[in-house]
Chains A and B, each alone.
Chain A
């Protein structure tokens, strides 16, 4: 079983993920933008359009403005998720010494890497639990939820919980070096056995792969969907020039257009 999860499944996971995402993106691009459905605010330059993209992606401005309680959970959760994913890649690749490139000593870099991992892991878990709470407790969110919406959150919560557990309980912790070695063998298509036989690591690895495989067939595609939607709606629209043909207001007023005396003098 461990052999399957560690040495075979990863290849299936990556294949399903890549083909799945390509399939979904192909479905989207096969359909067209039929009408001009530009939506407010009406930006006048491409820079402004970029500004809309950035403020929504980086700050979740709409959520902040229109549902603050949601933002309190959603924004930190996503930022933490981004850092956790980034931390996995960078931390394992540089063995925790990534901050050396920013001028830190090796020891400091490792400590910083650990600290950030722990902090973001906890924020991520807290954010996910808060979102689950909303889904269960708030009428308006419960009423729009399908079973899969809960399952998705539970899956994420499981992955993050196991990850945090490994980080916080040293006897089940994982060191950077063996993990890096394992992933290196995976990438070289000569998968080695999982190091140390840590059951929590195996569970973490399995659940993460399940998530990655589900992603292309789930609402997690919102990651790409939001770009697709904003591409349709937030674009530059140039107004036709105002001003009416053959109209000279000053002359019309001097002539007294519309005034009864003017009409009678016209007749005369």
Chain B
């Protein structure tokens, strides 16, 4: 269903697909009643949500600070208006002024059309939190999107893409449905690639009991971003680490954050705890994945049902540490191409990784050019929160969402000779930007940050 009453929307998961992620879709005639009940539960629970509902003054500052509004010009993509889709319902049912004054204060009864509109617009939000970052009060509209998606999930309305990823995660421990033999096969192939291209021997130990370090890569690295996985393997080999990749959770992401922050997110957290316990590791290192790192860094400590016995760090933090302590020999002239860095939203705004990434990239690349605005002020790639839909209408939207990013990349001039590198160290950014740099003809190749580390390492 690519469109409903003029609202563009991604294809929905079928009832059968919803059952695979343990949801029995709510029949249409009960949806409104249920939605209000769920909304009531959420508002009693989440202060961030209540404050977003009750303290916005509608100053309009967020409008031109949101790339989806800049790209589409659709007034419902103004962050505060997107939140208003829920706020008007919230006012109607949960505030005195809304009950007494109705439309005058912008309160409205809930109906099925509004639920469809939620689905359309909450899946046009990238959850990049730029609106929260620029808001004078810090109102985090991302929280509203997340709660909107949670309610939709409980009603049985989730995009096919997100539902199938949730099911694959539960079945195989990664988003792409890779089985252990496929994982081992791919890693052997990558070892050969490294040997051919860089002339070094790198082994990727899988499920090695007694390893000191557990490295959790993004499953997309096995298929789409091999250089990221190769870079990580080369880094661990270079420093002589006793490391392993767990086959039970080869996934740095956590789609639970994006559509179901309850059951799905917690399920993935539990999986990691079990894997770490089984392998007896001492530290867990996280691969390149933006939303995933937010989930694991910020949400995991509060949601794990067991005491967390293992420190978890991001591979960028570790590489930066070895660079700062002068233990890595990197040749920034090996990569003789101009490079710019796209700051993944979750890294810079939700996890504070901005300076870490710069420590790493400056050590790996001689011709590094910042794009502006950057760091925590950066704009999203347009794929954030995995709205990487292929339905033609949605794909057109993705092009519009990425237009601000394209403008920024062009301004750096790295693609002028067609040999630039756009470093985007996040699996979703990569998946969005691979096609988008073509659509916008930017003359750059998309790479991860650990890719560049692998390329710049000096072995002798």
Q: A135 to B104, alpha carbons, bound, how many Å?
A: 16
Query: B279 to nearest A CB, angstroms?
Result: 13
Contact B327 A226, beta carbon cutoff 8 Å? no
- B227-275 interface with A by 8 A CB criterion: 234, 237-242, 261
Across the interface, name the chain A residue whose C-beta is closest to B329: A253
Contact B212 A245, beta carbon cutoff 8 Å? yes
Q: Which of A37, A149, A247, A262 is within 8 Å of B143, CB to CB? A: A37
- A156-196 interface with B by 8 A CB criterion: none
Across the interface, name the chain B residue whose C-beta is closest to A148: B105
CB-CB under 8 A from B241, the residues of chain A are 244, 246-247
List 3 A-B pairs, minimum CB-CB distance, nearest first.
Answer: A225-B55, A252-B240, A42-B352
Contact B64 A67, beta carbon cutoff 8 Å? yes
Question: Would you call B429 an interface residue if the criterion is a C-beta within 8 Å of the partner chain's C-beta atoms?
Answer: no
- B69-112 interface with A by 8 A CB criterion: 69, 75, 78, 80-81, 84, 95-97, 101, 103-106
Across the interface, name the chain A residue whose C-beta is closest to B265: A35
Across the interface, name the chain A residue whose C-beta is closest to B60: A141
Given A242-B320, A244-B283; A219-B56 close (CB under 8 Å): yes
CB-CB under 8 A from A60, the residues of chain B are 136
Across the interface, name the chain B residue whose C-beta is closest to A223: B55
- Using a Cβ–Cβ cut-off of 8 Å, how many residues does chain B contribute to the interface with A? 89
- B421-445 interface with A by 8 A CB criterion: none
Q: A249 to B135, alpha carbons, bound, how many Å?
A: 45
Contact A31 B285, beta carbon cutoff 8 Å? no
CB-CB under 8 A from B64, the residues of chain A are 67, 140
CB-CB under 8 A from A145, the residues of chain B are 58
CB-CB under 8 A from B298, the residues of chain A are 35-38
- Among the stretches B15-23, B197-205, B217-225, the one at the interface with A is B197-205
Contact A229 B97, beta carbon cutoff 8 Å? no
Across the interface, name the chain A residue whose C-beta is closest to B257: A35
Q: A107 to B194, alpha carbons, bound, how many Å?
A: 86
Q: A218 to B101, alpha carbons, bound, how many Å?
A: 12
Q: A175 to B123, alpha carbons, bound, how many Å?
A: 60
Query: B103 to nearest A CB, angstroms?
Result: 7
Question: Would you call B5 an interface residue if the criterion is a C-beta within 8 Å of the partner chain's C-beta atoms?
Answer: no
- B158-208 interface with A by 8 A CB criterion: 195, 199-202
Query: A66 to nearest B CB, angstroms?
Result: 4
Across the interface, name the chain B residue whose C-beta is closest to A38: B298
Counting chain A CB atoms within 10 Å of each CB, the highest count among B101, B135, B242 belongs to: B135
- Among the stretches A83-91, A92-100, A118-126, A232-240, the one at the interface with B is A232-240
Across the interface, name the chain A residue whose C-beta is closest to B299: A35
Known pairs A36-B299, A217-B95, A229-B48. 19 more at Cβ < 8 A? Answer: A32-B46, A33-B47, A34-B302, A39-B133, A39-B140, A40-B348, A63-B136, A66-B134, A70-B59, A144-B60, A144-B75, A144-B80, A147-B103, A221-B54, A226-B138, A242-B320, A244-B213, A251-B240, A258-B234
Query: B298 to nearest A CB, angstroms?
Result: 5
Chain A positions 188 through 221: 1 when the CB is less than 8 Å from some CB of chain B, otherwise 0: 0000000000000000000000000000011101
- Among the stretches B28-36, B309-317, B412-420, the one at the interface with A is B309-317
Contact A66 B55, beta carbon cutoff 8 Å? no
Q: Which of A27, A40, A240 is within 8 Å of B50, CB to CB? A: A27
Q: Which of B63, B132, B237, B350 is within 8 Å of A258, CB to CB? A: B237
Q: A219 to B283, alpha carbons, bound, how many Å?
A: 47
Contact A249 B78, beta carbon cutoff 8 Å? no
Q: A56 to B221, alpha carbons, bound, how many Å?
A: 41
CB-CB under 8 A from B348, the residues of chain A are 40
Q: A45 to B285, alpha carbons, bound, how many Å?
A: 26
Q: A130 to B239, alpha carbons, bound, how many Å?
A: 61
Question: Would you call A28 an interface residue if the criterion is a C-beta within 8 Å of the partner chain's C-beta atoms?
Answer: yes
Q: A225 to B322, alpha carbons, bound, how many Å?
A: 43
Contact A242 B317, beta carbon cutoff 8 Å? yes
Question: Would you call A58 an interface residue if the criterion is a C-beta within 8 Å of the partner chain's C-beta atoms?
Answer: no
Contact A218 B459, beta carbon cutoff 8 Å? no
CB-CB under 8 A from B104, the residues of chain A are 146-148, 151
Query: A31 to nearest B CB, angstroms?
Result: 4
CB-CB under 8 A from B301, the residues of chain A are 36
Question: Would you call A263 an interface residue if the criterion is a C-beta within 8 Å of the partner chain's C-beta atoms?
Answer: yes
CB-CB under 8 A from B138, the residues of chain A are 39, 56, 226, 229-230, 232-234
CB-CB under 8 A from B311, the residues of chain A are 240-241
Question: Would you call A51 an interface residue if the criterion is a C-beta within 8 Å of the partner chain's C-beta atoms?
Answer: no
Q: A230 to B322, alpha carbons, bound, how many Å?
A: 34
